Amino acid sequence: MRKHLKKIVIAVVALAVVVVAASFIYAKFFNKADKEFTTQDVKDRLTTTIATDPTSGPASDSTTGATAPDGTQAATTVPSGTAAPAGAGVDGGWKIADGSEVGYRVDESINGFDTTANGRTKSVTGQFTIGGTSVSAGTFTVDMTTFKSDESRRDGQFNGRIMSVDQFPTATFTLTAPIDFQQVPTDGTTITAKATGDLTLHGVTKSVTFDVEATFQNGRVGVTGQIPVVFADFGIPNPSFATVTTEDHGVLEFLLIFDRA
């Protein structure tokens, strides 16, 4: 009897060791959270993505002026240090362009081993208006059904129990007060300010205030920042599940590229 009990104890301990070891390996080596967006990321995307031309007519190369082969897509590649063909200054309307991305980031622990969970989507639309040194209006919408992480099980929890994307397929942000950058940016300038607006997430709307960083480069605008989110404020269930525990809050992170509307 004692020998049998000893074998059971050894098996349980061995299983526990395997679980802990697997959790450590996953948390430290396999869980690949994206790095947070940086100013350099913004500048890189302002340079390497495609700038849409709001004027009619065939596309042309911004360096050579050559007409695009199909003669239909009104877009130009913007080489480093070259202004986009949208005119000088920043006044007017701006719209979301290629290179924009929105994500979530939450600190979590797997059997006591700390890691970070995050997922991202490029399915974001919106526009804003600049007059002088201020952004006077802006509205943005994110398709919540398109978020992807490095773990399909996490995506299943996100889409179902946590965010209920079938019931709440979109999230929106609407600016409710002007963003004053204090100065008209010159090419290559990065400016910081605070933004205030209504964030609708999981069917709940709350006023939020957060820091934004805007870069004007190559006749385009790039904006990055993070919006802190306390899950209970938006009726979002705590993401903790089984051996995975999370903080009761996270952030919505964004990198948005804009061309003239």
Q: What is the pTM of this model?
A: 0.76
Asked whether 95 and 258 are in contact (CB, 8 A), the reply is: yes
Asked whether 68 and 57 are in contact (CB, 8 A), the reply is: no
CA distances from 122 to 95, 106, 176, 236 (A): 14, 19, 24, 22
Q: Is residue 119 part of a domain?
A: yes
Q: What are phi and psi of 49, to 5 degrees?
A: -85, 175
Summarize the confidence of residues 171-191 as an average pLDDT.
92
Summarize the confidence of residues 117-144 as an average pLDDT.
96
pLDDT of residue 148: 96
Q: Is residue 136 part of a domain?
A: yes
Q: Is residue 62 part of a domain?
A: no
Both tokens of 171, joined, read 């999230």
Q: Is residue 124 part of a domain?
A: yes
Q: Is residue 6 part of a domain?
A: yes
Give the total number of structural domains in the chain.
2
SS3 of residue 18 by DSSP: helix
- The residue that leads in pLDDT, 73 or 194, is 194
Distance CA 200, CA 176 (A): 13
pLDDT one-digit tens code per residue, 203-260? 999 999 999 999 999 899 999 999 999 999 999 998 887 667 889 999 999 999 999 9
Share of the chain above pLDDT 90, in %: 58
pLDDT one-digit tens code per residue, 34-66? 899 999 999 999 999 888 766 544 333 333 333
Both tokens of 250, joined, read 């996270």
Q: Is residue 54 part of a domain?
A: no
Q: Is residue 40 part of a domain?
A: no
pLDDT band at 130 (very low <50, low <70, confident <90, very high): very high
Residues 96, 193 share a domain = yes
The helices-and-strands tally (H runs, E runs) of the chain is: 3, 14
pLDDT of residue 185: 80
Domain that holds residue 21: 1-30
What is the distance, to the nearest Å, from the Cα of residue 178 to the centroid of all Cα atoms in its chain?
22
DSSP secondary structure, 136-197, as one string: EEEEEEEEGGG-B-S-HHHHHHIIIIIT-TTT--EEEEEE-S-EE-SSPPPTTEEEEEEEEE
pLDDT of residue 242: 65
CATH number for the domain including 177? 2.40.128.110
